[in-house]
Amino acid sequence: MKITILTLFPDMFLPFIGESIIKRAIDNNIVTVELVDIRDYSLEKHRHVDDTPYGGGAGMVLKVDILKRCLDANRRPNSKVLLMTPQGKQYNQKMAEDYSKLDDIVIMCGHYEGFDERILKYVDEEVSIGDYVLTGGEIAAMAVADSIIRLLKGATRDESHEDDSFSTGLLEYPQFTRPYEFLGDKVPDVLVNGNHELIRKYRLYESLKKTYLRRKDLLDKMELTKEMQEMLSQIKREND
Ligand code: ADE
């Protein structure tokens, strides 16, 4: 997969691509991350990329001609072009899974007050990572790229993402490692006894419980198996 990031601040991505799972995925040719400085596509003196908004008001607006020139020079016919903006579709794990199946993604990051609206015609999707406003799209682009890259085959040692929070539709069950006892808190017995069916049931129950207590909205969207429905009834009896 190739991910191309169009940004005014390419250096912000250097720690992101230089550490841990992302670095390893790049080193192993699982993904190529290309950083493109939008400023390189300014034809103006002093490499300006923005201007004051028509109609007045505070802040500066990124110029559509520069953004389009940058996009045209760095997209390929099969690229999926994402524009990071708080006005976009709210990003989620399903989108990460869908994007991880693509060969070529271009992510455009804005900064300052925003983009000239006319750039929207040339992008495939506007994406937001949440209902809050960042100083620019860079951190949002890293969140999106990170969530995609970890799903690529060979990127992590654990190839199975079936139990990830949200992949199942539920929050993930709790995990424990040594020591067995910490300041009086012990690891649940079921995890120590080695009965795989009981462990499966325990984890499903705890996933459901956490999701019920923290994110009821996720449960509303799910089709529950009979086993899950029975567990959920018990969880409701014990927690309501
Ligand atoms: N740019 C600024 N805020 C953002 C957000 N919440 N999501 C995506 N891009 C952004």
Instruction: For residue range 36-73, list pLDDT tens digits in order.
Output: 999 999 999 899 999 999 999 999 999 999 999 999 99
Q: Measure 136 CA to ligand 1 centroid, in angstroms.
A: 6
| Helix (H) / strand (E) containing 5 | strand 2-7
Average pLDDT over residues 204-210: 97
Q: What b-and-e string marks burial along 95-110, b requiring 16 or more CB atoms within 10 Å of the CB?
A: bbbebbeeebbbbbbb
Which tokens sit at 177?
A: 């490692």
Give catalytic status of residue 98 as yes or no: no
The predicted pLDDT at position 111 comes to: 79
Give catalytic status of residue 189 as yes or no: no
From the list 39, 150, 203, 215, the catalytic residue is: 150
Instruction: For residue range 104-140, list pLDDT tens digits in order.
Output: 999 999 876 789 999 999 999 999 999 999 999 999 9
Pocket residue to mutate for ligand 1, from 129, 131, 139, 146, most atoms within 8 A of Cβ: 129
Instruction: For residue range 166-200, list pLDDT tens digits in order.
Output: 888 999 999 999 999 999 999 999 999 999 999 99
Q: Measure 129 CA to ligand 1 centroid, in angstroms.
A: 6
Nearest CA to ligand 1 atom 7: 128
Q: Measure 23 CA to ligand 1 centroid, in angstroms.
A: 24
Which tokens sit at 213?
A: 């207590």
- What is residue 59's three-state secondary structure? coil
pTM of structure: 0.94
The predicted pLDDT at position 168 comes to: 84
